[in-house]
Structure 1
Amino acid sequence: MGQKLMGPTLPAEAASGDAVADMGQDESVLILIKHCRDMKQQESCLRLVTLLLLLSCTTLFVFIISADLRQRGDSGSSGQRSAAEQHPAYSKQKQLCPADHPQNTSHRPHIHLRSVDAENRSNAQYIKWNVEFGERYDEERRAIVIPKTGVYFIYVTVTLTCQEEDPAADFNRFYVELRSWNKGYDMPRLLTKAWNGITCINSEGPRSVFVGQLFDLLAGDHVSVWIGAGYNLIMKSSFGAYLA
């Protein structure tokens, strides 16, 4: 009669309980892992939002600082311009630059004259003129009258040529002076002078002589052109003045 070996056995209820316990533990682990993932996502979103807010605040701060500095710079420049405009040197420079204010050009004195053929073409006399445009010409003194005190550019252009009655010579001398007269000193005053000439024996052709310079003149000054030598060489000439 055979014998059966019998080992220890677990009840069915115990085996089923362990399986349920294992399934419960796995589900808890999955829930915990999912919760950790959700927390990490929320943390990443918070970091991103914080970074964006920080960048926005930094940009706003930089913009405010830049606007303030620009406003201060504009205020400083305006103050410097106002101070410069009040300076006498700026006012003088403004007056001496007519190109910046073309609307004021028409009020600046300017006169231009053309010479008149003289019957007496001897030396040591003043040239007589016809007015091309402008005002304040004293026909008696053959002079331009300066209307107001200031710096004027005075110019004279003379064209020299050999006349038929000129004697044959190696060189015919020409001498011109710019002179000024005023009631205050009642004596002609030399402003500037020029020497030149022309050779007639070889018929070299006409020659131009130009004299131009800035002069500080007073109101009432009479500026005229005096010929000391070579009056008979003058073919034509012009004379003018304008406020610089």
Structure 2
Amino acid sequence: MGEKLFGQTLPTEAVCGDAIIDMGQDKSVLILIQHCRDMKQQETRLRLITLLLLLSCTALFIFTICANLWQRENSGSSRKECAVEPSPAYSKQERFCPTANPQTNTQKLHIDLTSLGANTTDAQYVKWHDNFGDQDNKEKSAIVIPEDGFYFVYVRIALSCNEGDFNRLYLELHNWNENYPLNRPVMKALDGCTSEGEKSVFVGQLFELSKGDNLSVWIGEGYELISTSSFGAYLT
């Protein structure tokens, strides 16, 4: 009887051991399956996010192209509208389309001045009379620059040389601005009488000037030799 019980216990232990092993294998398989499911879910999320980003970029690109086309069409239609807008006065066209052509709104400097007369006193500025153009400061006898740019500035002087008046003429072109109110010589010329008769002196130079610059002609010597003179500038 004891041998039967002992004999029956062996198969029971064997069965329990196999069951433990089988349960451990099933648990590993379940973990592996769950891991695979998690990986698939993450992959699905990544694909969805990538798709959304791609759609967003595509929509932004299409919106940018449409906005540029719309802006070009509007600018083209506004220029056409300005071109065909009937108006008897140029002021109305300018008021209707103030930015259609900015260059036409710019007043370019072109001024020419003539000296008021000879003077016997040296070391002073020449006073001028307008021939054409109105960009000058009569109080300070200066040409006022209306806008930044490159300007050709010239001074033409006619000398009346009498016998024995073999003196020299010395002049300077001065420039001042509110940013640097001190008069600065930017051009100098030295000439004079070498013989009796009339003589012409011309000096000119290209300058890069700023808005608000004031140009004036200062005579250091030989003011009494000047019969007539002119002073001008124009924007190149």
TM-score category of the 2 structures, normalised to the smaller one: 0.5 to 0.7
Which whole-Å CA distance do the structure 2 matches of 1:116 and 1:110 have between them?
20
Q: Which has the larger radius of gyration?
A: 1
- Equivalenced residue count is 134
Equivalent residue letter for 1:115: S
Normalising by the residue count of structure 1, what TM-score does the alignment of the two structures yield?
0.52
Equivalent residue letter for 2:228: K
- Deviation of 1:121 (Å): 2.4
Alignment of 1:86-105 (within 5 A): none
- Deviation of 1:133 (Å): 0.4
Cα deviations across residues 191-235 of structure 1 (Å, max 9, x unaligned)? Answer: 1101001035xx2x1111101010011100000000000000001
- Deviation of 1:109 (Å): 1.4
Equivalent residue letter for 1:132: N
- Deviation of 1:107 (Å): 4.2
Identity of aligned residues (%): 52
Counterpart in 2 of 1:128? 127
Equivalent residue letter for 1:192: M
Which whole-Å CA distance do the structure 1 matches of 2:167 and 2:142 have between them?
27
Which of residues 190, 210, 213 in structure 1 aligns to 2:185? Answer: 190
Q: Which 4+ residue blocks in structure 1 deviate beyond 6 angstroms?
A: none
Equivalent residue letter for 1:116: L
Which blocks of at least 5 consecutive residues in structure 2 are unaligned?
Answer: 1-102
Counterpart in 2 of 1:216? 208
Cα deviations across residues 87-107 of structure 1 (Å, max 9, x unaligned)? Answer: xxxxxxxxxxxxxxxx96x94
Counterpart in 2 of 1:21? none
Alignment of 1:18-167 (within 5 A): 107-118=107-118, 120-162=119-161
Higher strand share: 2
Counterpart in 1 of 2:59? none
Is the contact made by 2:142 and 2:215 (CA closer than 8 Å) also made in structure 1?
yes
Which blocks of at least 5 consecutive residues in structure 1 are unaligned?
Answer: 1-102
1:175 to 2:206 alignment: no
- Deviation of 1:157 (Å): 0.1
SS of residue in 2 equivalent to 1:121: coil
Equivalent residue letter for 1:197: G
Normalising by the residue count of structure 2, what TM-score does the alignment of the two structures yield?
0.53
Cα deviations across residues 28-57 of structure 1 (Å, max 9, x unaligned)? Answer: xxxxxxxxxxxxxxxxxxxxxxxxxxxxxx
